Amino acid sequence: MGRARCMAQGCAARWQWPLADTRTQAAGLGWGLFVLPEFRMPFRHPPPPEAFDDDATSHRIGTLALAFCVGSAAALLALRTAKARARPAGPADGAPLIRTPLQVVAPVDLKRYAGLWHEQARLPNRFEKQCAGHVTAEYTPLADGTVRVRNRCVQADGRIDEAVGRARVVPVAGLPGAGRLEVRFAPDWLGWLPLVWGDYWILKLDRDYQVALVGTPDRDCLWVLSRAPHLDAAALQAELEYARTLGFDVDRVVRTAQLPAG
**Cα(19)–Cα(16) distance, rounded to whole angstroms?**
8
Beta-carbon contacts of residue 258 (< 8 Å; ≥ 6 apart) = 118, 120, 134, 229, 230
Region of residue 32 (left: phi > 0; alpha: psi -120 to 50; beta: else) = left
Q: What is the pLDDT, as a whole number, of residue 259?
A: 76
Q: What is the pLDDT, as a whole number, of residue 45?
A: 62
Closest CA to 121 of 245, 262, 247, 241: 241
Q: What is the pLDDT, as a whole number, of residue 243?
A: 98
Beta-carbon contacts of residue 107 (< 8 Å; ≥ 6 apart) = 175, 176, 177, 178, 179
Beta-carbon contacts of residue 5 (< 8 Å; ≥ 6 apart) = none
Percent of the chain with pLDDT over 90: 58
Q: What is the pLDDT, as a whole number, of residue 99?
A: 75
pTM higher than 0.85 for the full model? no
Q: What is the pLDDT, as a whole number, of residue 7?
A: 44
Domains annotated on the chain, with CATH? 110-255 (2.40.128.20)
Which amino acid does the sequence have at 142? L
Q: Which residues of the chain have pLDDT under 50?
A: 1-36, 39, 83-97
CA triple 168-174-178, angle to 5 deg = 35
